[in-house]
Amino acid sequence: MNFGEFGVSPGKVDELRERIARSGIDLSQIDESFVRGGGRGGQKINKTSSCVMLRYEPLDLVIRCQEDRRRSVNRFLALRRLIDEVEFRMSPETSPKGRRIAAIRERKRKRERGKER
């Protein structure tokens, strides 16, 4: 995968590069392809290949992203999702996704405890 130009702020790109370096992911192992989108958006979505699909073979991950009309932004978002998932699989306790899940579980536990009284 080529770590090229994204349509997002440089600060976000720097943060993503730092997370990639921390997790030790080799970008050459990520297979990137662009597929046609679908869903809402009409003719333009159905005609252009702005949907990004990333494959990371070592963990057998496939990430597909079509949140924006621009391919460059979708590339950034897909790569960020991939890094989130890799971090979560490597160490669920310390990853941002794992912390969000733990916080949601804690809120639900407190809510259920309040209903018992």
Predicted confidence at residue 30, as pLDDT, reads 92
Comparing 79 with 1, the larger pLDDT belongs to 79
Q: Could you give the strand order of the β-sheet that contains 30-35, starting from the edge strand earlier in sequence?
A: 30-35, 51-56, 61-65
Say how far apart CA 101 and CA 111 lie, in whole Å.
15
Identify the bridge partners of residue 44 per DSSP, sorted by sequence position. Answer: none
Domains for the chain: give ranges and CATH numbers: 10-90 (3.30.160.20)
- At 56, the pLDDT band (50, 70, 90 cuts) reads very high
pLDDT (mean) for 8-34 = 90
Q: At what angle do helices 71-90 and 10-23 cross, to 10 degrees?
A: 30
SS3 call for 92: coil
